[in-house]
Structure 1
């Protein structure tokens, strides 16, 4: 490899990792003939190293297994939104429960723009502060995967990445839970249904909204009424107010998280409406308080603590050189009907 000046530049492990589409740790394992690397992958890495003109450096070899003993997690959201989101606090608790036992740290950053997120990823990678990243809130054509690949970092993805990878990927299927929610509301006689959804730049939020719409249409129900919000209580209350104060008030509202649903119940109560007599409410997440509300919230339960534990375990294995050829399927979300959903009002 040559610099713009024409001088030959030293080829680094990170250059080989980027060219081969693997982590720096895996390149180190392959070039040092350490166990844990599939033979075809080792051959591909060695071939890329040869093409780039890589030669071993004695100081670099001595440091080839040095680590930061930390993994990174960057959130693109406001600190206030993160603080009130029990899903992510539970996810981080699950991550930490594994990392602490392995003497690893969790380095988190909270940013409020895509550019700031990119800078955070580059800073963590270039400063050598982390050995891998946990990637959440996937987006369409998500640029973060290219960033970690170019940096030669291991990662774990919570959701389907935009391209095939040998890194761990955690997935689950929401379709059964959504089908159960829709059948529940249809059986209760609801025909005017609306959604309060998460940011539609978020791929899982968009897919959830679209799947709800598809299932409602299968029952002949117009599912075109939805309002985009931001997963916060304030956003959920404002979106609910717009639906309740508009024409043809819905008899049921489905929310993309429990926090917005709880705030939606508050908006309904402030207008003299009874839940579920006048309007039914269904959430998503099953946060701790959901079952203790009056009425108790019908919702979809998830497993963020377990997701965090499995994500941390597999990421540490990836940092150690393990390759993953198939996604890891987690338990599917499950609908839990409670008192906030009832027969449709006239």
Structure 2
């Protein structure tokens, strides 16, 4: 068969010795063919690099065999965050077992993200989506059910009625484990260098820090775009003040490591003069000196669980109940100590 010619379902049916209808059933994961026949058809499709027509899929309502993941992050910072590489790798591992692909796009705003969901749905390009970084009054959580696009949200608490199912981690409890630890060490001036203020996890962590005022802790929040450059600038400002904090907590490990370099540049000893911690962990956070105290989570498994949950949701006409993810744990390393 000519490599230049687009392979069709009819071609695959002829090569497999079955009807085009049987090929359609096999390629779309529907019952109606034996497992042996399905495997033979899939092997032939792989051999001839068959790709479905998105226009044809939209006309017949067939499955796309792809899930979507729209990420609202600066492109320059995305590759540096271990959270995203681990999350995507975990999701891909679960999807690959079902021969499902992932279409990932970077968006610059929540409006662009919503527009992406509308485009994906109208062209039948994806069967469902994984959503991250939920916000209060999040427009995405209203649009997705309206579009009839299956979704699973990786969030900080359970979802409200009528919203897509959530696999959630109790961010309040996680924040308590880190901020309470610093308070117990004796820190009374703690700064939280966060991502955007509108994210739910930023609000929940801020509320926990504010609650420590009952213990005499002065908490302060600095919002950034998650980038190492923003973290470095924030740390320079904090360490240039006459009333320096005694502990600074960052939303991710890359920010914390960038801030550690600034402290060393300015002659501030960590942890003798300043404690540093992070809400994300990575291999690098444990290799720098001093190693960084972090919240450690199995992000690979979180991605795999979210993808598997989404595949279940795609098969169900009703929204599935929320699920609780594994609770992250505090890993204490060299970067935190009692203040002088």
TM-score relative to the length of structure 2: 0.78
Alignment of 1:1-346 (within 5 A): 63=60, 66-159=62-155, 160=157, 163-165=160-162, 167-214=164-211, 216-223=212-219, 225-321=220-316, 323-345=318-340
Secondary structure (helix, strand or coil) at the match of 2:292 reads: coil
Distance 2:141 2:163 in 1: 12
CA distance in 2, matches of 1:166, 1:228: 27
SS at match of 2:70: strand
What is the distance in 2 between the residues matched to 1:148 and 1:186?
41
Check the 8 A contact 2:81/2:252 in 1, yes or no.
no
**CA contact 2:171–2:204 (8 Å) conserved in 1:** no
Tell me, yes or no, if the aligned pair for 2:293 and 2:333 is still in contact at 8 Å: yes
Q: Structure 1 77/301 Cα, relative in aligned 2: closer, same or farther at 3 Å?
A: same
| Deviation of 1:183 (Å) | 3.2
Assess, with a 3 A threshold, how the Cα gap between structure 1 residues 304 and 120 changes in structure 2: closer, same or farther: same
**Alpha-carbon separation, structure 2, partners of 1:168 and 1:184:** 32
User: Quick one: structure 1 residues 136 and 177, their matched pair in 2 at CA, closer, same or farther if it must change by over 3 Å?
Assistant: closer
Separation of aligned partners in 1, 2:162 and 2:82: 29
Deviation at 1:150, TM superposition (A): 2.1
Alignment check: 8 A CA contact 1:71 1:104 kept: yes
SS at match of 1:335: strand
Paired with 1:127 and 1:316, the residues of 2 have a C-alpha distance of 19
- Secondary structure at 1:74's aligned position in 2? strand
Query: Residue in 1 aligned with 2:10?
Result: none
Structure 1 pair 179–114 and aligned structure 2 pair: CA distance change class (3 A): closer
Conserved 8 A contact 2:313-2:320: no
More displaced 10-residue stretch of structure 1: 178-187 or 310-319: 178-187
Deviation string, structure 1 residues 115-135 (Cα, Å, up to 9, x no partner): 322221111111110010111
> What is the CA distance between 1:86 and its match in structure 2?
1.2
1:228 Cα deviation (Å)?
A: 0.8
Change (3 A) 1:304 1:192: same
Is residue 167–residue 318 contact of structure 1 (8 Å, CA) maintained in 2?
no
Asked if the contact 1:199–1:206 (Cα under 8 Å) also holds between the matched residues in 2, the reply is no
CA distance in 2 between counterparts of 1:75 and 1:325 reads: 23
**Aligned counterparts of 1:84 and 1:333: Cα–Cα separation in 2:** 21
Name the structure 2 match of 1:22: none
TM-score when normalising by structure 1: 0.77
Could you tell me which runs of 5 or more consecutive residues in structure 1 were left unpaired when the two chains were aligned.
1-33, 35-58
Kept in 1, the 8 Å contact 2:159–2:165? The answer is no
Larger RCO, structures 1/2 (Cα 8 Å, 6+ apart): 1
